[in-house]
C-alpha cells in the first residue's frame, strides 16, 4: 500500500511538471520588484503587468520604472500558438530589421542584443536582449545604464530566471 502511494505521488509530480511546462507564464511573478531594483540599481515603481491570450500565442509583459531617474526594465514573453510564426523566425526577422545585433552566447537556443547606437535606432544607454527557447520569444530591455556590459549581464541574469520557468 505504501509503495503504491509513493508511486502515485511520483507519477503525479511528473504529470504536474509536464503540464506546468506548457502553462502560460506571468513574467511579473517571475521577475519581481526586488529583481528589477537589483537590475536597475535603484528603487522602482510597482509593476505594470499585462497578460493576454491571442490567436498567435500568449503574451506576458511587465514594465518597471525607476522612482529616481529615467532607468527602466521592460519585459516581454510570447509563447507561440501552434501554427503561428515560430520564435526562431521572429528572432531572424528582428535581427534583419536593420540594426546590428550582437550574438549572445549561453542563453536559450539563440540570443542576441541590440545596443543604443544610431544604426540600431535606439537612444544611448539602452540595450534590448532577445532570447529564443522552444516556443517562447523573450525580450528584455534595460535603459538608463551607462555601462553596456553591466547592463547585458543584468539582462542575462533576468533571462536566466525566465528561462528556468519555461
Decide: residue 164, CB within 10 A, 0-12 exposed, 13-18 middle, 19+ buried. Answer: exposed
What's the maximum distance between 2 C-alpha atoms anywhere in the chain? 69
Give this prediction's pTM.
Answer: 0.84
Cell of 159: 533571462
Q: Mind listing the pLDDT tens digit for each residue in 93-129?
A: 999 987 889 999 999 999 999 998 877 788 889 999 9
Report the C-alpha gap between 88 and 133 in whole angstroms.
9
Cell of 137: 520569444
Cell of 93: 526577422
pLDDT for 132? 98
Q: Specify whether the CB–CB gap between 62 and 31 falls below 8 A.
A: yes
Domains, the chain, in order of start with CATH, read 25-163 (3.40.1000)
Q: What is the CA radius of gyration of the chain?
A: 18
Amino acid at each position: 500500500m505504501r509503495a503504491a502511494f509513493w508511486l502515485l505521488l511520483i507519477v503525479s509530480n511528473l504529470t504536474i511538471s509536464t503540464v506546468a511546462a506548457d502553462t502560460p507564464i506571468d513574467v511579473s511573478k517571475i521577475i519581481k520588484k526586488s529583481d528589477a531594483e537589483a537590475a536597475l540599481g535603484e528603487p522602482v515603481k510597482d509593476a505594470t503587468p499585462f497578460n493576454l491570450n491571442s490567436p498567435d500565442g500568449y503574451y506576458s509583459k511587465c514594465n518597471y520604472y525607476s522612482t529616481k531617474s529615467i532607468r527602466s526594465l521592460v519585459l516581454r514573453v510570447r509563447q507561440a500558438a501552434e501554427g503561428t510564426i515560430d520564435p526562431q523566425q521572429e528572432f531572424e526577422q528582428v535581427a534583419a530589421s536593420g540594426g546590428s545585433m550582437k550574438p549572445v552566447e549561453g542563453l536559450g537556443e539563440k540570443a542576441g542584443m541590440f545596443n543604443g547606437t544610431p544604426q540600431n535606432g535606439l537612444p544611448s544607454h539602452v540595450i534590448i536582449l532577445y532570447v529564443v527557447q522552444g516556443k517562447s520569444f523573450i525580450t528584455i530591455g534595460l535603459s538608463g545604464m551607462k555601462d553596456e556590459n553591466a547592463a547585458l549581464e543584468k539582462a542575462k541574469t533576468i533571462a536566466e530566471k525566465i528561462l528556468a520557468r519555461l
